Chain A
Amino acid sequence: MVVDIGMIAADTSRSRAYLQALIRHGLLPGHVLVLENPSSALLPGQMARDTGHGATGAWTGEVGSDCWSEADFDPTIPLRELLDGAGITHETAPSQDINDEAVIAAISRRPESVLIYSGYGGVLLHKNVLATGKRFLHIHGGYLPAYKGSTTNFYSLLAENAMGASAIFLTEQIDSGPILLRREFPPPADRTRIDHVFDSAVRAKVLVEVLGLYAKTSNWDVAMENKGGDTYYIIHPVLKHLAIMAIK
């Protein structure tokens, strides 16, 4: 268990990638607050059951490539099953909405000072959450500071044939906290799986690395300032298709 680290997690493919990576590397959070989706309708970041991964659900591509080491996760294993299997204590948050007052109160009650944040897609933390005094460790799916905002890995694939992930603490401005660590990645072999597998994998890779550094040093060292860059919005499907189908 990593000292003084908790987690806030929705049951998304990203959270499942994070948990499996953390378990694999022995970097367990002390406690997880689960933002549960009570309805049958999927929320952004959640995957339909039929993933096309095969009978076992395990991803069988990209194994052995170091930069893609965290792509070897099973996105079909529910979050609670992972938590129970690893013996990680967890509780259900009073609401699926992290900005809900009762959830903020639950966050405030936690003793950990740093919480890994892996919520539903497209939800921004309001200032009341940040005012709890906790630090929210977020792994942005994009190479900061150049690529701020949403679906940035598709934009960077089109512009530079690369993906990225960057570790920051959340601030009021989108994707603007000082950069703790950032990495670039080559395009994955199967770009049709970026949304739920490879974008999650690059984030999990950076999460493991930044937590590993903290576990060794007990410090959160800032690698660089996070100034400049552009803010991107959800990529239009036509451009998303070009990013997926690109061969150069």
Chain B
Amino acid sequence: MKYSYSGENRLETPAKYTYAAFGGGEFLQAYIRDRQEAIAGLGQAYKDLSWEDIPHLLRREFSSSSGQLLSTPLQPDRVDAPASMPVQIIRALSADQTINTTEVLECLVAIQLTSSGEPAVTVWLDRLVQRFEVSKKIYETYPPGFRKGLGDAHQVRLYWLLAIALCLQYHVDEQLKYLSTLLKLTDLLCSLPTEELKAESCSTGLGWVLCAEIAAIRRLADQKGVAIGC
């Protein structure tokens, strides 16, 4: 069985998840294979992560001083700056103003990497999840009211950043709604040509996010008594 949800470019043709057909254990195995192939395509070896190791691994991957997580307009040492700086930014933001999505996402991830438990994180995460789930797109900016986005909706980096944020948040609170949206985002990212991911510096760390996602699914399957079989 082929896993079809990352089978074509999902930025151009969003996947349809309504009334998804049941494919049994074969479907779950197809999903795992799809992600493992994606990881290999990124030049990384698949690693069976333990649930407990995930936050440490992701922090190590994304908190490097190479600043690969961050875009040029921000201070390059943002991640290493006092943890309060991204928190101050995120607390000062309001949905009643024009929002730069890159700024919000980079702040969210920077805060999550320091595990500060800042409540504003889930407020903004929920807003971005709602926008993505409704429109299947993440826009460069959002006007006051945070409804229909404006500008470029094909910045792969934005989808990559949101996937990292959801991966980190799911590990904290195991809220299934975040895991569901993460799966849709990784379907989209895995559907893109590797060159496109590398061009936007998104291949870095994506392999680890996919490993973490598989670990989350295996853990949930185990809790529910579901044998995936691969």
Measuring CB to CB, which residues of chain A are less than 8 angstroms from any residue of chain B?
A: 44, 121-122, 155, 158-159, 192, 195, 230-248
Contact A248 B225 (CB under 8 A): yes
Q: How near does chain B come to A10, taking the closest CB pair, in angstroms?
A: 14
Contact A239 B224 (CB under 8 A): no
B18, B24, B126: the one contacting A234 at CB < 8 Å is: B18
Let me know if B164 is at the binding interface, CB within 8 A: no
Let me know if B11 is at the binding interface, CB within 8 A: no
Contact A242 B217 (CB under 8 A): yes
Measuring CB to CB, which residues of chain B are less than 8 angstroms from any residue of chain A?
A: 5, 17-20, 22-25, 27-28, 31, 126, 129-130, 133, 175-177, 179-181, 183-184, 187, 217, 220-221, 223-226
Whole-angstrom CA separation of A121 from B22 in the bound complex? 19
Given contacts A159-B176, A233-B129, A233-B177, whether A240 and B224 have CB atoms under 8 Å apart is no
A159, A235, A247: the one contacting B226 at CB < 8 Å is: A247
Contact B217 A245 (CB under 8 A): no
Whole-angstrom CA separation of A122 from B17 in the bound complex? 12
Q: Select from chain A the residue with minimum beta-carbon distance to B23.
A: A241
Q: How near does chain B come to A199, taking the closest CB pair, in angstroms?
A: 11
Contact A230 B19 (CB under 8 A): no
Contact B177 A44 (CB under 8 A): no
Contact A241 B17 (CB under 8 A): no
Starting from the known contacts A155-B177, A235-B180, A239-B183, 20 additional A-B residue pairs (CB-CB under 8 Å) come to: A44-B18, A44-B19, A158-B220, A159-B176, A230-B175, A230-B177, A232-B176, A232-B177, A233-B129, A233-B130, A233-B181, A234-B133, A236-B17, A236-B187, A237-B20, A238-B217, A239-B220, A242-B224, A245-B28, A245-B224
Contact B177 A236 (CB under 8 A): no
Q: Select from chain A the residue with minimum beta-carbon distance to B22.
A: A192
User: In the complex, what residues of B have CB within 8 A of residue A244's CB?
Assistant: 22
Given contacts A158-B224, A246-B224, whether A240 and B177 have CB atoms under 8 Å apart is no
Q: Select from chain B the residue with minimum beta-carbon distance to A233.
A: B133
Q: Select from chain A the residue with minimum beta-carbon distance to B227.
A: A245
Contact A238 B17 (CB under 8 A): no
User: In the complex, what residues of B have CB within 8 A of residue A159's CB?
Assistant: 176
User: In the complex, what residues of A have CB within 8 A of residue B28's CB?
Assistant: 238, 241-242, 245
Contact B180 A233 (CB under 8 A): yes
User: In the complex, what residues of A have CB within 8 A of residue B187's CB?
Assistant: 236
Whole-angstrom CA separation of A159 from B217 in the bound complex? 14
Contact A235 B22 (CB under 8 A): no
Q: List 15 A-B contacts (CB under 8 A).
A: A159-B176, A231-B130, A231-B177, A234-B17, A237-B20, A238-B27, A238-B183, A239-B179, A239-B180, A241-B23, A241-B226, A242-B226, A244-B22, A245-B28, A245-B224
Contact B224 A248 (CB under 8 A): yes
Most B-side CB within 10 Å, residue of A122, A195, A242: A242
Contact A247 B224 (CB under 8 A): yes
Most B-side CB within 10 Å, residue of A122, A192, A238, A246: A238
Whole-angstrom CA separation of A244 from B20 in the bound complex? 12
Q: Select from chain B the residue with minimum beta-carbon distance to A191.
A: B22
Q: How near does chain B come to A243, taking the closest CB pair, in angstroms?
A: 8
Q: Select from chain B the residue with minimum beta-carbon distance to A122.
A: B18
Q: Select from chain B the residue with minimum beta-carbon distance to A45.
A: B19
Whole-angstrom CA separation of A84 from B167 in the bound complex? 52
A121, A122, A238: the one contacting B31 at CB < 8 Å is: A238
Q: How near does chain B come to A247, taking the closest CB pair, in angstroms?
A: 4
Whole-angstrom CA separation of A195 from B19 in the bound complex? 7
Most A-side CB within 10 Å, residue of B17, B176, B223, B225: B176
Q: Select from chain A the residue with minimum beta-carbon distance to B183.
A: A236
Whole-angstrom CA separation of A248 from B225 in the bound complex? 6
User: In the complex, what residues of A have CB within 8 A of residue B177's CB?
Assistant: 155, 230-233
